[in-house]
Amino acid sequence: MEGSDDDDGVPQLSSHALAALQEFYAEQQQQETLKLGPEYDKFSVGSVEEDWQLSQFWYSDETALSLAKEVIEVCGENGRIACISAPSIYQKVRGLARESLHVQLLEYDQRFAIYGDDFVFYDYNEPLKLPESLEQSSFDIVIADPPYLSEECLRNTAQTIKYLSRGKIILCTGAIMEDLAAQILGLKICKFIPKHTRSLANEFRCYSNYELTLDSRFLGGKNLQQILRSHLVNWSRSGSYRNASL
């Protein structure tokens, strides 16, 4: 039987695939080089890359900033904030308040251990396996973003939320979890709609057990204009304007 050096079982990349792979490695090298530079900010959203295998999808910078301002405003000076599976919120909070607040990031991804004592390894499958330093009812506000849209994941994460919170709660998850969020945590859907850097297939919403200051700002901007525009269109189509006093 004839043979050749190409028949040794080693897969061969096409020229197109090889070029794409080289481009990928070049981008990775560029990112690593930037991280060594003086302008690198480890608290910027995206400084740690998304890992889709861990169901990581970072918030847009605007959403992360809005939610960070919300939790900082709620907890007040010297407050305590717990971010459960919400690293981009943690990053924004720390970016805004480097030293004045106590902030903990409970996260499964060990890459976030770069944040030192702020990082606590967290696995939602063991919701109450927490260090002694995280005492019951010790956080002014808990904000959580469970990694998976499943009842088990939300129920387990809710155990952690209930244990740590001494009051206010914000939950960010899919719209399909609305009934369960109300049932197990007593949360109501908010008007503010979080956005991600990438488009998600599932509608995403915020839930809370108090009235977000974000909601008033949300309705005060372009979204209020959209609502009014929609009402005006419906009103004109109904012909009600014909009977209106001028």
Q: pLDDT by residue (tens digit) across 47-95?
A: 455 555 555 577 888 999 999 999 999 998 889 999 999 999 999 999 8
Report pLDDT for 196.
Answer: 84
Q: How many domains does the chain have?
A: 1
Residue 9 lies in a domain: no
Identify which of 5-9, 44-48, 235-239 has the greatest average pLDDT.
235-239
Whole domain around residue 159: which residue ranges? Answer: 52-222
pTM over 0.75: no
Residue 156 lies in a domain: yes
Cα–Cα dist 213/167, whole Å: 16
Looking at per-residue pLDDT, the higher value among 178 and 240 belongs to 178
Q: Return the structure tokens found at 213.
A: 């200051």
Rounded alpha-carbon distances, angstroms, from residue 71 to 37, 43, 163, 245: 31, 17, 18, 46
Residue 41 lies in a domain: no
Residue 243 lies in a domain: no
Residue 135 lies in a domain: yes
Residue 42 lies in a domain: no
Q: Return the structure tokens found at 34.
A: 């930037």
Cα–Cα dist 55/194, whole Å: 17
pLDDT range class, residue 175, cuts 50, 70, 90? very high
Cα–Cα dist 102/104, whole Å: 7
CATH of the domain at 62: 3.40.50.150
* Tokens 């001494």 belong to residue: 166
